[in-house]
A = this chain, B = another copy of it.
Amino acid sequence: MAQLDDLDRAILRILKEDARLTISEIAERLNRPESTIHFRIKKLQERNIIDKYTIVLGKDLQPKALALVYIQAETPIIEDFLERYIRHIMKTLSLLPNVLVVARSGKDGVIALIGEENPEKLNRFVDETIRVLPTLRRVEVMHIDEFSKGEGLLGFLVSV
């Protein structure tokens, strides 16, 4: 785990809330000299504790209907085929703009977060793009209706 002291953490929390704040604004909030804040941020960047500065997009660009889909492949006789098949599904899904996240789950599973304009489009996408994949054992669709934590991830993930 990275060694961070209270000042590092305070700076990171402030930048997470608003990465546009200037060094002098952060220094004033934390009641520390600008040179200290400047040095700390430089170090946090060099150590890759801060990996990137980015923007979060607002509601207008975010999908209105969301679902997590768990896809489990049929275990085939030739094990090498399963590996290549899972890679193929992951790659195919990753290329689609309405698929926000693609992850592997175990030897035979893929998890995808799908975002669409409305529930009808979402269901159609699942039926026409996912359920038609050959040799699946199981497709489980978990609709996401509301977040109580982490909602910002939509504005972070959505592409333009």
Closest to A68 in B: B111
User: Given A9-B160, A54-B19, are A60 and B103 also a contact pair (CB < 8 Å)?
Assistant: no
Interface locus among A23-31, A43-51, A75-83, A124-132: A43-51
Residues of B within 8 A of A84 (CB): none
Contact-size category for A = 35 or more
* Number of chain copies forming the complex: 2
Mostly, the A contact residues are mixed
The answer to whether A100 touches B150, judged by C-beta atoms less than 8 angstroms apart, is yes
A119 CB, min distance to chain B CBs, angstroms: 12
Interface on A for B, CB 8 Å cutoff? 1-2, 4, 9, 12-13, 15-20, 47-61, 68, 70, 90-91, 93-94, 99-106, 109, 111, 113, 117, 142-150, 152-153, 155-157, 160
